[in-house]
C-alpha cells in the first residue's frame, strides 16, 4: 500500500487520481487543503493542524505526521482523553497507524472485560400495540388504533434492557473499527464484540453525545471506554454536525488536542482549593449578551482567579499576538479576574513575557510548553508547568 506522507501545516506536492482528489475536496473540506499546482498536473496538499491516517478510494493512504514525536502525541491523547493507563510500550511506537491499532486493541480489551462482568442495564420506556395488556394503557393511541378491532391494546411499559446509550455507542465504535485495515487478530476481536452486541442498536452518535451521558455508581466504570469512543468518533467524523463517519479516516485536531491536554494536565495537578474548567460559558455583556467560552478557567472556591487561552501555533521570540491579547482581556473582564495566561507550544525559543494592561490591574502573561522533548522529560516538564501555574495562583 503506497503511503503519501504529509506534515502538519506544510505544503506537499502530490500526484492524485481524479477520484482521490474529489474525495479530499468533498469529504475532507476544511481539514485537508488541496489545490492544483500552478505548473504541472499535480496537487498541493496541506493538512493544516490535522494529523492522522486517511485511506483514499484508490487504495493509497495519506499519513499526516505531527511536528512533535509520535510518543508525545500519544501521551497527549492519553491525558486529554483520560485513558486509564499509559503503558511504557507506547513510547516505542513511531507510526500513527501503530498508535491507532494499539488504542483499538485497548478499546477491545476494556469492552471484553465489560462483557465478561455483565453489561449495564437500565429501564427504558417502550410502546407497543400488544395482544395482552402490559404496563399502562395509552387511551388516546388505543382508541385511534383499535377503535374497531379490540383484539389489541396500545400500552406503554418499562423494560429492563441493555439496549441503552451506554452500550449502543460501544457497538457503534466496535462496528466501524472492525472495518479498519488492522491486523487480522485485532479485526477479529472487534468483529466478535460487534457480534456479541448484536441485540444492541447500532446508532450514529457523535463525539459531543458522549458529554451528555450521565454517570452514577452503576455505570461509572463505563467512563474510560466511553472516552475511547469519543476519541474514535472525533477522529473519524468528517462532519461533527452531521454525524458522518468513515472507516477510512482518523484525524486528530492538534489545536483542540492541545487545549484539552493542557486542561487535563492542570486538572490532574490541581490542589484542593482549585477547580479547572474547560470551555466554560461566560458572558461579556449584561443580560447574558456576547457569549464566550474561555479555553480554561481556574477557580478558587468558586471565584475565577485565572483565565487562560491555549494557542497551538508558532510564536516568534518576544512577540505578542495582539488579537490573542484582546481575546484574553475580554475573558478576564467577563470573569472578573486580573490574571490572564496565554499558553503556546514551544517552537523556537522559550517565551516568558507579560504585559500590564494600562488603566487596569489586569496582567496577561504568556508561557510555552516544549512538546518536542524526549518523552520522560516532556512528562516531567508538563508536571512542572502545572505546579508553576498553581503556585502563581496561590501567590
The structural domain count of the chain equals 3
**Nearest CA among 199, 141, 212, 207 for reference residue 171:** 199
The secondary structure of residue 153, as a DSSP letter, is E
pLDDT(74) > 60 = yes
pLDDT confidence of residue 169: 94
User: Which range of residues forms the domain containing residue 328?
Assistant: 255-394
pLDDT confidence of residue 363: 92
The per-residue pLDDT of the chain, averaged, comes to 85
> Where are any strands of DSSP class E within the chain?
3-7, 12-14, 33-36, 43-46, 50-55, 61-65, 122-130, 136-137, 153-161, 237-239, 244-245, 249-253, 274-278, 282-285, 289-292, 296-300, 303-310, 339-345, 353-356, 363-369
Is 102 a domain residue? no
pLDDT confidence of residue 314: 59
Listed range (32-41, 190-199, 235-244) with the worst mean pLDDT: 235-244
Q: Which residue has the higher pLDDT, 244 or 390?
A: 390
- 42 and 149 inside one domain: no
- 44 and 132 inside one domain: no
Write a three-state SS string for 285-310. EHHHEEEECCCEEEEECCEEEEEEEE
pLDDT(241) > 50 = no
**Nearest CA among 212, 222, 209, 228 for reference residue 166:** 222
pLDDT(185) > 90 = yes
- 156 and 264 inside one domain: no
Looking only at the bridges linking them, the beta strands covering 237-239 and 244-245 are antiparallel
Q: Which residue among 65, 83, 112 closes a domain?
A: 65
pLDDT confidence of residue 377: 92
- 36 and 126 inside one domain: no
pLDDT confidence of residue 348: 47
CA distance 9 to 67: 9
pLDDT(167) > 90 = yes
pLDDT(306) > 90 = yes
Q: How confident is the model at residue 174 (pLDDT cuts 50, 70, 90)?
A: very high
- 130 and 259 inside one domain: no
pLDDT(352) > 80 = no
Backbone angles phi, psi at 18, to 5 degrees: -60, -40
Q: How confident is the model at residue 242 (pLDDT cuts 50, 70, 90)?
A: very low
- 388 and 269 inside one domain: yes
pLDDT confidence of residue 93: 62
- 321 and 386 inside one domain: yes
Is 341 a domain residue? yes
**0.85 exceeded by pTM:** no
What does the pLDDT average to over 113-133? 83
Q: Which residue among 65, 90, 114 closes a domain?
A: 65
pLDDT(320) > 60 = no
The secondary structure of residue 247, as a DSSP letter, is S
Amino acid at each position: 500500500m503506497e503511503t503519501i506522507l504529509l506534515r502538519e501545516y506544510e505544503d506537499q506536492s502530490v500526484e492524485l487520481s481524479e477520484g482521490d482528489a474529489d474525495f479530499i475536496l468533498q469529504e475532507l473540506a476544511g481539514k485537508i487543503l488541496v489545490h492544483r499546482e500552478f505548473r504541472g498536473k499535480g496537487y498541493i496538499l496541506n493538512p493544516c493542524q490535522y494529523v492522522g491516517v486517511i485511506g483514499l478510494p484508490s487504495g493509497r493512504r495519506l499519513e499526516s505526521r505531527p511536528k512533535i514525536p509520535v510518543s508525545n502525541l500519544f501521551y497527549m491523547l492519553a491525558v486529554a482523553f483520560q485513558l486509564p493507563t499509559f503503558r511504557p510500550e507506547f513510547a516505542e511506537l513511531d507510526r500513527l497507524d501503530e498508535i491507532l491499532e494499539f488504542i483499538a486493541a485497548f478499546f477491545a480489551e476494556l469492552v471484553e472485560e465489560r462483557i465478561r462482568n455483565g453489561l449495564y442495564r437500565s429501564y427504558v420506556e417502550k410502546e407497543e400495540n400488544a395482544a395482552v395488556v402490559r404496563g399502562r394503557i395509552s387511551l388516546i393511541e388505543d382508541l385511534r388504533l383499535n377503535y374497531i378491532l379490540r383484539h389489541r391494546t396500545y400500552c406503554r411499559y418499562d423494560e429492563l434492557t441493555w439496549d441503552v446509550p451506554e452500550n449502543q455507542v460501544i457497538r457503534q465504535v466496535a462496528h466501524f473499527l472492525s472495518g479498519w485495515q488492522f491486523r487480522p487478530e485485532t479485526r477479529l476481536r472487534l468483529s466478535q464484540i460487534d457480534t456479541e452486541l448484536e441485540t444492541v442498536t447500532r446508532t450514529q452518535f457523535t463525539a459531543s453525545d458522549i458529554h451528555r451521558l450521565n454517570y452514577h455508581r452503576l455505570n461509572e466504570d463505563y467512563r474510560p471506554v466511553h472516552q475511547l469512543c469519543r476519541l474514535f468518533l472525533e477522529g473519524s467524523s468528517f462532519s461533527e454536525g452531521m454525524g458522518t463517519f468513515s472507516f477510512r479516516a482518523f484525524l486528530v485536531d492538534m489545536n483542540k488536542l492541545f487545549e484539552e491536554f493542557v486542561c487535563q494536565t492542570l486538572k490532574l495537578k490541581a490542589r484542593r482549593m482549585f477547580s479547572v474548567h474547560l470551555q466554560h460559558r461566560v458572558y461579556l455583556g449584561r443580560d447574558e449578551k456576547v457569549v464566550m467560552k474561555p479555553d480554561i478557567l481556574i477557580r478558587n472556591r468558586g471565584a475565577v482567579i485565572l483565565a487562560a487561552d491555549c494557542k497551538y501555533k508558532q510564536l516568534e521570540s518576544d512577540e505578542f499576538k495582539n488579537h490573542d491579547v484582546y481575546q484574553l482581556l475580554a475573558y478576564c473582564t467577563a470573569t472578573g479576574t486580573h490574571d490572564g495566561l496565554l499558553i503556546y507550544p514551544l517552537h523556537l525559543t522559550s517565551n516568558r513575557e507579560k504585559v500590564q494592561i494600562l488603566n487596569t490591574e489586569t496582567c496577561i502573561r504568556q508561557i510555552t510548553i516544549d512538546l518536542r522533548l524526549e518523552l520522560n522529560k516532556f512528562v516531567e516538564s508538563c508536571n512542572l508547568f502545572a505546579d508553576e501555574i498553581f503556585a502563581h495562583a496561590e501567590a
